[in-house]
Amino acid sequence: MTATLLIEQVLNGLQFGTMLFLMAAGLTLVFGVMGLINLAHGSLYMVGAFAAATAAAATGNFLLALAAALAAAAAAGALVEIVVLRRLYSRDHLDQVLATFALILVFSEGTRWLFGSFPLYLDVPKALSGTVHLGTLSYPLYRLAIIIVGIAVALGLYLLINRTRLGVQIRAGEADREMIAALGIDIARLYTIVFALGAALAGLAGALIGPIQSVQVGMGEPVLIMAFVVVVIGGIGSIKGALVGAILVGITDTLGRFLLPIALASVMDQASATTIGSALASMLIYILMAVILVWRPTGLMGAA
Amino acid sequence: MPDPILKIIGLEKSFGALKATNGVTLDLYPGEIHALIGPNGAGKSTLIKQIVGEIRQDTGTIAFEGQSIDHLDAADRARIGLARTFQVSQVAPELSALKNVMLAVEAREGRVFRFFRPVNRDLGLTDAAMAFLYDAGLGERATVRAGDLSHGERRQLEFAIALAMKPKVFLMDEPMAGLSPDGSKRMTAFLDKLRATAPILLVEHDMEAVFALADRISVLVYGQVIATGTVAEIRANPEVRTAYLGDEAA
Amino acid sequence: MSRETILNLVVLAALFLVALAASLSGQPYLVTLATKATILGLAGIGLNLALGYGGLVSFGHAAFFGIGGYAAGILASAAQNYEPLMTWPVELPGTTSMPIIWLTAVIAAGLVALPIGALSLRTGGVHFIMITLAFAQMVYYFAISWPAYGGEDGLSIYVRNTLGTLDTMSPWTFFLISYALLLLVLGLVLMATRSRFGLALAMARQNPLRLTSMGVRPFNVRLTAFVLSAMAVGLAGALYADLNRFVSPTMLSWHLSGELIVFVILGGVGRPCGPLIGAALYVLLESELGRLTEYWQLPLGIILLLVVLFARGGVIGLVTGRRSHA
């Protein structure tokens, strides 16, 4: 094992972490403001990826593909919020779970119906297709770009929430729902905007991951569950927590898969080290979550 | 004089910058009703919550029957004999009044984790619970869902539950709240008899009831006890009059 | 008898009669479908103990379903391949005896549910939903990446396990076995909800503060319900593995956790037979919609949405006109 390899894995972890952050930010925002648990958040990620793949195939332009992903996911989010979810804010979590579970079925099957079961592919844009050299390490430019986009989005969200009128309303909504009514804010509109914003972030994540993985039905679900872990670790409702949790989970997962088999190989033979190491690595973030839960049941940044 | 059954020394509790309890020292003797009065926000409910263990004090100590109970959680404290009633009645709305009380009986007996015998056929349990319901004046309404009881009846159910726990101390958070004048009178008479069962630490706003019932009164203002004494002493205390009673008289 | 009791008896009888008629008229496929509804209903009834009666919205019960299934698969495949189950510290052979498999499944599910429940119950509400989901996912990924038991491909049970001299490969016989276990678990759950423990569980859901002030820790009551519920679901998992003669990580997937919740809500939360009705309806919809379209989950999703939005209280709520818990 060399330092170069390790740095590469850390960067991969960061890249995975930024993807998770884009997902978790929307989840935690929607929960913080509306008190809604949205299982269908992964479907919006999928919608973004399919929109991007379709737009890229039609225009050949990656920026247009990103724009299409943002627009499609935000529109799908707004539509779902207006037609279904706003009726569920006052219901218990059980109803929300069932309704958003049903939405997953609708989205997944609808996408399969429209696009078929075969995965679509999205190419890395030409401008970002090379590698960058950092000392002895050559790293794909595109992955680096994802990290930068993630940091930019985190900054943008910070400014949005702390420096804009919408941000004031969102914070008011998190603190006290009656307060936003007292401030004379159109709550229904605010909720739709927040939901569409979260959906757009998920769609962006889906579009960005498209060139790295294949675009297919069901792609959002593993990411959704990882994003839940992030939200639990970071503390529900906290965007800062989502950022910290996402980086933590991204790096833990990536490094675990890389280091555990190597570490175990020093105490057992190579074959079983690989087997046991990868099995353990796949459980690592859940173990991390359990440890943090024992230590701080409301998450790292959650309200006590 | 006998030893106090409950002794609170130097209790402090802060929520951020707010000192909800600021060095409270208080005791309760067997057979007495000790009323705790004070303006809204004086920290009376917070004090009750610390005594029963729902929230932990920052400093100070609470002793029950001569032993510190600081390390015990709320469930433990209930089991050793502290029974509280809530300002807003806390019952299981979907269970009948009888079943609410039956649960208190099984909890006191320490036999909650029994899975097979239907409680309806457990005559020992139902009979005991019925007796407590009758003691609290709710015997006729045993089969009504707690959620369908009137406000006053739910209050009676609270008392039936507290009685079923056979506690050594009652801690009551505003039992008169929301009762009609008539209901308050009946509650006063009920509490007057209850002191024979176990001593009562009574948080109450209804001064008429307090003056009729209390053996001693403590006045809590801004998290501090500014006076403790008999009804006559408290009535005559100038500090209390300005801080609290004076406002009402004016 | 209340309308709900009558409905329960009608459903139980109907399930039996459908399977009987299908068996007599030589439609084994239909018998198998009824068996599937029975087993999934059994799992739903188990989940309902935690979810309906305890108010614990677990989105991770697939873990216990799958563990039950794997218990059956591992024991049976060891026996069928004449390999020992383990050699250290003691040598244990596999088995194809259903009662031993059921017992193992129930105990294994309970043992896994204990730490998962203890950790998850440190929180509540939305946290609880996400954490149970995450733990189930952990079990799922473990099953996928651990190669000893088939990994992603799962394990096949070549011949259904044995129960005395019964011909368990006969669809009708296997239906009867499943149906008998369904009745047994239903009876046990009914008994538990009407027992002293049932009172405490109802209080833990409706007013945990009051339960604490009576001297009982809601945590202990909830954890007990969670573990018992997992054990029932584990039993259902073992039966399901025998029904399909196959276990795979699919049995552990979060999708299955969601379906179990669907059974409970579709039938009616906190109703003893609700999950059975829900499961039967779900299996029926699946097979009927599946005949109409390849994309049967689309209409299914829409139906579920309509149920959540407009039919609160589930099917039993619609029939009896009451939403509240029994």
Give the bridge partners for C97, in sequence order. Answer: C162
Q: Among C126, C142, C265, select the one facing A98 at the smallest CB separation.
A: C265
**Neighbors of chain A by Cβ distance (3+ pairs < 8 Å):** C
B192 and C CB contact within 8 Å: no
Cβ within 8 Å of C, A 183-212: none
Q: Do C202 and B95 touch (CB under 8 A)?
A: yes
Tell me the two tokens of residue A196. 């569409």
Tokens of C112: 């896994």
Longest dimension (CA), chain B: 62
pLDDT at B250: 39
* Rounded CA separation A194/A203 (Å): 14
Taking an 8 Å cut-off on Cβ atoms, the answer to whether B52 and C213 are in contact is yes
Dihedral sign (CA C107, C252, A98, C260): negative
Closest by Cβ to A236, choosing from C119, C126, C144: C126
Alpha-carbon gap, residue C51 to C53, rounded angstroms: 6
Q: Taking the C-alpha atoms of C270, C273, C275 and C278 in order, what is their torsion angle to the nearest 10 degrees?
A: -120
- What long-range pairs does B72-76 form, CB within 8 A, spacing at least 24? B73/C217, B74/C212, B74/C213, B75/C212, B75/C215, B75/C216, B75/C217, B76/C215
Residues 112 through 151 of chain A touching chain C, CB cutoff 8 Å: 112-113
C90: left (phi over 0), alpha (psi -120 to 50) or beta: beta
Starting from the edge strand earliest in sequence, which strands make up the sheet with B6-15, in order?
B18-28, B6-15, B59-64, B67-68
User: pLDDT band for position A101 (50/70/90)?
Assistant: very high
A249 touching C (Cβ < 8 Å): no
* Side chain identity, residue A188: A
**Tokens in use for C101?**
């498999």
8 A C-beta contact, residue B143 and residue B56: no
User: C261 and A101 in contact by Cβ < 8 A?
Assistant: yes
Q: Are B91 and B161 in contact (CB under 8 A)?
A: yes
pLDDT score recorded for residue C326: 37
Residue of A nearest to C117 (CA): A290
User: How far is the alpha carbon of C38 from chain B, nearest alpha carbon, in Å?
Assistant: 24
Q: Which residues of chain B have a CB within 8 Å of the CB of C195? A: 114-119
Nearest to C202 among B92, B122, B125 (CB): B92
Cα–Cα distances in Å, from A245 out to A27, A30, A214, A302, C140? Answer: 13, 17, 25, 11, 22
| Overall average pLDDT of the A105-119 stretch | 92
C145 lies within 8 A of chain A by CB:
yes
Probe site for chain C from B86, B103, B123 (most C CB atoms < 10 A): B103
SS3 B166: coil
Could you tell me which chains touch chain B, where touching means 3 or more CB pairs under 8 A? C
Q: Domains in chain A, please, with CATH?
A: 3-295 (1.10.3470)
Q: Is C297 on the interface with A (CB under 8 A)?
A: yes
Maximum pairwise Cα distance, chain C: 60
d(CA C51, CA C32): 28
User: Which of C192, C198, C215 is facing B75, going by the closest CB pair?
Assistant: C215
Length of chain C: 326
The answer to whether the bond into C208 is cis (omega within 30° of 0) is: no
Q: Give the angle subtended at the CA of A88 by the CAs of A83 and A93, to the nearest 5°.
A: 140
C-alpha to C-alpha distances, A174 to A42, A136, A227, B136, nearest whole angstrom:
23, 47, 20, 43
Whether chain C lies against chain B with 3 or more Cβ pairs closer than 8 A is yes
Token reading at A257: 């898969």
Inter-residue contact A200 to A77 (CB < 8 Å): yes
- Mean pLDDT, rounded, for A103-111: 94
Q: Is C131 helix (H, G, I), strand (E, B) or coil?
A: helix
Interface B-C, measured as beta-carbon pairs within 8 A, has a size of: 101
Give just the sign of the alpha carbon dihedral C256, C259, C263, C268: positive
- Closest chain C CA to residue A302: C127
> Taking CB atoms and an 8 Å cutoff, what residues of chain B touch C325?
94
**Which run of H or E residues covers position B170?**
strand B169-173
C86 three-class SS: strand
Measured CA angle at C310 (ends C309, C316), to 5 deg: 115
Contacts of C309 in chain A (CB under 8 A): 84, 87, 99
Contacts of A285 (CB under 8 A, 6+ apart): A226, A229, A249, A252, A253, A256
Assess contact for B204 and B20: CB atoms under 8 A: no
Chain B residue whose CA is closest to C224: B113
Cα–Cα distance, A115 to A109 (Å, whole number): 10
**DSSP SS3 for B20:** strand
Which of A98, A114, A115 to mutate against chain C (most C CBs within 10 Å)? A98
Contact by Cβ (8 Å): C70, C248: no
Complex prediction ipTM: 0.93
C178 Cα to chain A: minimum distance (Å): 27
Quote the tokens at residue A33: 């403001």
CB–CB of C203 and B103 under 8 A? yes
> Residue B71: what residue type?
H
The Cα-based distances of A19 to A195, A238, B100, C68 in angstroms read 18, 17, 50, 35
How many CB atoms are located within 10 Å of the residue B75 CB? 20
- CA dihedral sign, ordered B38, B41, B44, B47: negative
DSSP three-state, residue A140: strand
Instruction: Say which of C59, C126, C137 has its CB closest to residue A286.
Output: C137
Q: Closest chain B residue to C53 measured between Cα atoms?
A: B94
Please tell me the predicted confidence (pLDDT) of residue B245: 58
- CA dist B244 and B40 (Å) reads 10
Could you give phi then psi for residue B216, rounded to 5 degrees?
A: -135, 155
Search chain C and give the residue with CA nearest A28.
C126
Q: CA angle at residue C151 from C108 to C250, to 5 degrees? A: 70
Give the SS3 label for residue A139: strand
**Cβ distance of C203 and B95 shorter than 8 Å:** yes
C122–A294: do the CB atoms touch at under 8 Å? yes
Between chain A and chain C, how many beta carbons pairs sit less than 8 Å apart? Answer: 124
CA distance B50 to B73: 10
C137 touches chain A (CB under 8 A): yes
Per-residue pLDDT of chain C (326 residues; tens, 9 = 90+): 688 888 889 999 999 999 999 999 999 999 999 999 999 999 999 999 999 999 999 999 999 999 999 999 999 988 888 888 877 677 788 888 999 999 999 999 999 999 999 999 988 888 899 889 989 999 999 999 887 888 888 898 888 888 988 888 899 999 999 999 999 999 999 999 999 999 999 999 999 999 999 999 999 999 999 999 999 999 999 999 999 999 999 999 999 999 999 999 888 887 888 999 999 999 999 999 988 888 888 999 999 999 888 877 777 777 776 544 43
Whether residue B93 lies within 8 A of chain C, CB to CB, comes out as yes
Question: Which residues, other chains included, contact B21 with Cβ-Cβ below 8 Å and sequence gap of 6+?
Answer: B11, B12, B13, B43, B46, B47, B50, B57, B60, B223
How many whole angstroms separate alpha carbon C33 and alpha carbon C38?
Answer: 9
From the number of C-beta atoms within 10 Å of its C-beta (0-12, 13-18, 19+), residue B214 rates as buried
Q: Which of B95, B100, B106 sits opposite C196 (nearest CB)?
A: B106
DSSP symbols for C227-247: HHHHHHHHHHHHHHHHHHTEE
Q: What is the pLDDT of residue C37?
A: 97
- 3-class SS of residue B14: strand
CA neighbor of C203 nearest in space, from B52, B136, B105? B105
Contacts of B161 in chain C (CB under 8 A): 210, 214
Exposure b/e, C187-211, CB count within 10 A at least 16 = b: ebbbebbbbbbbbbbbbbbbbbebb
Cβ neighbours of B104 in C, within 8 Å:
214
The per-residue b/e assignment along C89-119, b for 16 or more CB within 10 angstroms, e otherwise, is: eeeeebbbbbeebbebbbebbbebbeebbeb
What is the pLDDT, as a whole number, of residue C324?
44
Amino acid at C264: V
Chain C contact for A99 (CB, 8 A cutoff): yes
Show the domains of chain B with their CATH numbers. Answer: 1-81+168-250 (3.40.50.300), 93-166 (no CATH)
Residue C314, Ramachandran bin (φ over 0: left; ψ between -120 and 50: alpha; else beta): left
Q: Which residues of C touch A108 (CB under 8 A)?
A: 297
Rounded Cα distance between B44 and B42, Å, is 6
A161 to chain C, any CB pair closer than 8 A? The answer is no
Give contacts of C138 with chain A, Cβ < 8 Å: 282-283, 286-287
**Would the pLDDT of A2 be above 80?**
no
Find how far residue C191's CA is from the centre of its chain.
18
What is the per-residue pLDDT for A73? 96
Rounded Cα distance, B23 and B7, in Å? 13
CA of residue A211 relative to chain centroid, distance: 16
Beta bridge partners of A178: none
Helices (H), chain A: 3-34, 41-59, 62-83, 93-115, 141-163, 165-175, 177-182, 187-209, 220-234, 239-265, 270-295
Mutate to test the interface with C, among B85, B109, B115 (most CBs of C within 10 A): B115
pLDDT score for A296: 86
pLDDT at position B1: 67
Positions in chain B whose pLDDT score sits under 70:
1, 244-250
